[in-house]
A and B are shown apart, each in its own frame.
Chain A
């Protein structure tokens, strides 16, 4: 009798190991990594109103960085934002809004008025595409450099060297993806796909399924 029990115990052990391997190899659930907490901030938006990190909870936020004097095409940052906005219908977002926040790295010249004019030139709907900055240079450097891990530095001639990155933050304020290289033409497709993955997780990660999603995080089943 002992032998049967022992076989069952071994069988169960093997089953657990095999299913864990299968879960990792076939990746039935894919997620985005939880990279770090997004920074908390109080900035000023294009309408001269305060914009805080708390205002942006409960929605997907895509941060981008630029300055209004950046010579065109300026890494195609704004074109990418426009393309993503126009193609949002292609992904199942379950009514979770997607907000774009463009942070200006040049607060000396980019006042609220300048940003407002810039938004109008771009034809941006400022409820879903906000422009913000702060004259507190230390805060700006902390938010962008430490919080969103993006490089920018003023050059001698008044222009800026910076990483034309996109940073995707989820509704809980956790950084879920960074798209660092504007040279990648596939950025738009990748961001749209990732928004779908995030929305799926929000929708399905409840009850028992939550454990499966946590397992996907544990086994690093990250969406490409």
Chain B
């Protein structure tokens, strides 16, 4: 059996090699991020009932906000809602620098987003699901968080801030 050498234009071949290298690079970067640097993917934590999550007195989101679970370690229960006026509860949270904050975010109506500027926190907020992510705030400053999923006419005014004091 004779093997026939296929003719490939050098320009095309170079780009093929380049894209293959890119694929390998991306796969390596993802693996290093996941296993080497321990970057966490915000996974759904638990299911809740979106109809009662904001009103049930036993639910942490009926009284959303920061709780200090140990020195420098906080839980932040955040409720995102479009009804009545597109907002996060609480709108502002203050923690000292060096704190690690676990965000538990859920929605009582439609799907929202939760992105904290200058951190790698960016996740979907799905009614009925709790999204959890832990972020360590080392540098003092104001970290705004915004809604990144279009959720209605008030989507643009849906924001809040985490203030990290020195």
Chains A and B belong together in one complex: yes
A residues apposed to B, CB below 8 Å:
1-3, 75, 141-142, 144-146, 149-151, 153, 161, 163-164, 179-184, 186, 220, 222
Query: Chain B: interface residue count, which band?
Result: 20 to 34
* 12 more CB-based (< 8 A) A-B contacts, given A3-B1, A146-B70: A75-B58, A146-B69, A151-B69, A164-B58, A181-B46, A181-B58, A181-B60, A183-B49, A183-B52, A183-B58, A183-B59, A184-B48
Contact B70 A163 (CB under 8 A): no
> Please, which residue of chain B has its CB at the minimum distance from the CB of A33?
B43
Instruction: State whether A182 and B46 are in contact (beta carbons under 8 Å apart), knowing that A145-B70, A149-B69 are contacts in the complex.
Output: no
* Cross-chain contact A151 with B3 (CB below 8 angstroms): no
Residues of B within 8 A of A183 (CB): 48-49, 52-53, 56, 58-59
A-side contacts of B49, CB under 8 Å: 183-184
Give the distance to chain B from A176, nearest Cβ to Cβ, in Å.
14
Pairwise interchain contact A3-B69, C-beta atoms closer than 8 A: no
Docked complex Cα distance between A68 and B127 (Å): 35
B residues touching A (Cβ–Cβ < 8 Å)? 1, 3, 43, 45-49, 52-53, 56, 58-60, 67-70, 73, 75, 102, 104
**In the complex with contacts A1-B1, A182-B58, A183-B58, A151-B52 CB distance below 8 A:** no
Chain B residues with CB under 8 Å of A163's CB are 60, 75
Asked whether A184 lies within 8 Å of B102 as measured between CB atoms, the reply is no
Q: Is the CB of A151 within 8 A of B67?
A: yes
Give every chain B residue within 8 A of A220 (Cβ-Cβ): 43
B58 engages A146 (CB within 8 Å) = no
| Bound complex: CA A181 to CA B59 (Å) | 6
